[in-house]
A = this chain, B = another copy of it.
Amino acid sequence: MAATAGDAARILSRRDLSFLLYEWLDAAALTTRERFADHSRETFEAAIDTSAKIAADHFQPINRLLDENEPTFDGEKVTTPAPLKRALAAFAESGLTAAGQDYDLGGMQLPSVIEKACVAYVMGASVAAAGYPMLTVGNANLLVAHGSREQVDRYVRPMMNGRFFGTMCLSEPQAGSSLADITTRAERQADGTWRLFGNKMWISGGEHDLAENIVHLVLARTVVPGEPPLPGVKGISIFIVPRTLVGDDGRLGERNDVVLAGLNHKMGYRGTTNCLLNFGEGRFTPGGRAGAIGELVGAPNQGLAIMFHMMNEARIGVGLGAVMLAYTGYLHALDYARQRPQGRRPGAKDPRAPQVPIITHADVRRMLLAQKAYAEGSLALVLYCARLVDDQHSAPDEATRRRAHLLLELLTPIVKSWPSQWGQESVSLAVQVHGGYGYTRDYPVEQFYRDQRLNPIHEGTHGIQALDLLGRKMNLADGAAAQAFATVIGDTAARAGAASAEWGGHGAALVSLTARVGTTVRRLLGQHDPELGLANASVFLEAFGHLVLGWVWLEQALVAHDALGQRGLETGGAGGAPDEDDESCFYRGKLQAARFFLRWELPKVTPMLELLDSVDPTCHAMRDEWF
């Protein structure tokens, strides 16, 4: 497929983005905070314009090319396609890598919610290409929060201008989800420096030819002569291990002892290299001997705490990638459904009449409306969580910061897992709308489907998110996080009741489900055998996720309802004259997607809660030898 200039309108609906940012989340109000005082809605929009343009000009046109031309490894070096370098250079030159960073680091000091809106475009244009800057930003954020001034100067500044890229090295071949079992060692030397030895698996962006240097952040078990090592997660620290050593003057020095052992070949996401890396195998000998030289970040043995500190934002990032595959898939399917003639309406059987565009068929509208509900709903959730990140960091009062923190902790498993799960259903429907064409590599949805399948696996599998939500988050701070969420639901329901009987009814249903979820949690966690309750965690994750999305859609419906009301328009289901303007149609679409979610999707929660309340032992009792 030729690399032609792309089309931002097939990545993301700018009208929807504005609706979410300004009509729902009131992002403009953030400009009253000191950190964002130089900003205005205009500066926010300018940043989003820039990102949309780069996404359409540089990322979207190469997405298939990256899929068809995987990075190659000749035993010495990794080669990536030249257009990828140009796209990433354009992104770095725009300053977007530092969109959220402080001015004194060369950043734009944009709120998280606006940064995520910018990132949405590049992710939707090419999630694999976007992986490199996203990993780099995550790495930089960790160092800004926990690194020394010197570490920030040496590593973060070159990352912000695109000279260095970053990675996160957590997993090992024998330790994927179980970080307690990593065996990579960081040995303290007599001179106080550290040398690392071990193998890291699944390292995205772990080796490539795209930057002058790669800054690995590596979890390793600290070994200090004369001190007994701490077992499990307690003995893990986090280290900067640059591919090439960096001098105090910022110049690149010797090659560090980090080498690529092999590239993984994936179903999708092929443009992002994914590697097995060997640390300290002696292929290079910095300072005259084997061992990868690393710099400790923060205090020793705090590696996991530091890593988890950044995990919420990383998980929002994965969620956003999943959202954007669903979103661009939806827009492609919508476009196809409007163009493709096929069949006639039921009852209109005259075969000599022209065929109708397939969007005319109710079942195609169902598939499109489901995609709209999944994609726009999960984008709303991601932006809401990003808004919580802003409140957590920069809200003027402690109570708001605390509340935002608790809600964010609670919602993080959802914002990671829900778009991953339903985003795949969404892309599958996008394929289905295309029929046989959607199954061919001539249409972008085919790639979106393969790319999307990674999301329920990386950054904590679906099952890990479920255990986090049920086992940790629902009772966080003695249940204060869950209580904060119940209060949010109650507020929304009260506004819904004031708006109309239709929306008030949905609000009341959400309040009732929320109360019921509380009972379910107590029941599951109150089991004599804790494994029995946790054996149902995945169903709980899915039930709670649907409840959260039901709230997201009710919130959007209330905004749209008010907007139509201000125009003096009715908002009933059959409302809407055919000649309404684009704005009114937009709001009617929001109401209809909300109805779809609240009527077609939310009721799925009830049998899930009934199953959970029965504390069903089927899976728990199943034995290996019975399979």
Contacts and interface: CB of A to CB of B under 8 A. Distances in A.
Interface stretch (A112-120, A377-385, A482-490, A533-541): A533-541
A595 B620 CA distance: 12
A79 to B, nearest CB: 19
Which 9 residue pairs across A and B have the least CB separation, nearest first? Answer: A232-B351, A362-B535, A603-B607, A589-B626, A366-B619, A178-B343, A363-B463, A180-B351, A231-B351
Nearest to A531: B346
Contacts of A600: 539, 611, 616, 618
A443 to B, nearest CB: 10
A466 interface: yes
A537 B436 contact: no
Given A600-B616, A604-B604, 19 more contacts: A176-B436, A177-B343, A181-B355, A266-B439, A268-B439, A346-B534, A347-B530, A362-B531, A362-B620, A363-B619, A368-B622, A432-B461, A436-B458, A450-B450, A539-B600, A573-B618, A585-B626, A592-B626, A599-B618
Nearest to A596: B618
B453 A181 contact: no
Interface stretch (A4-12, A245-253, A281-289, A334-342): A334-342
A334 B627 CA distance: 8
A441 interface: yes
Nearest to A354: B181
A125 B625 CA distance: 24
20 contacts: A177-B343, A178-B344, A180-B351, A181-B355, A232-B351, A232-B352, A264-B436, A264-B442, A265-B441, A265-B442, A267-B441, A346-B530, A362-B531, A365-B620, A428-B453, A435-B461, A450-B450, A573-B621, A592-B621, A592-B622
B362 A534 contact: yes
Contacts of A231: 350-352
A605 to B, nearest CB: 9
Given A338-B624, A589-B627, A626-B592, A432 B456 contact: yes
Contacts of A596: 618-619
Contact of A435 (B450, B457, B534, B618): B457
Given A266-B439, A346-B531, A621 B574 contact: yes
A266 B461 contact: no
Interface string A80-122: 0000000000000000000000000000000000000000000
Nearest to A595: B618
Contacts of A174: 341, 355
Nearest to A466: B363
Contacts of A149: none
Contact of A436 (B435, B457, B582, B619): B457
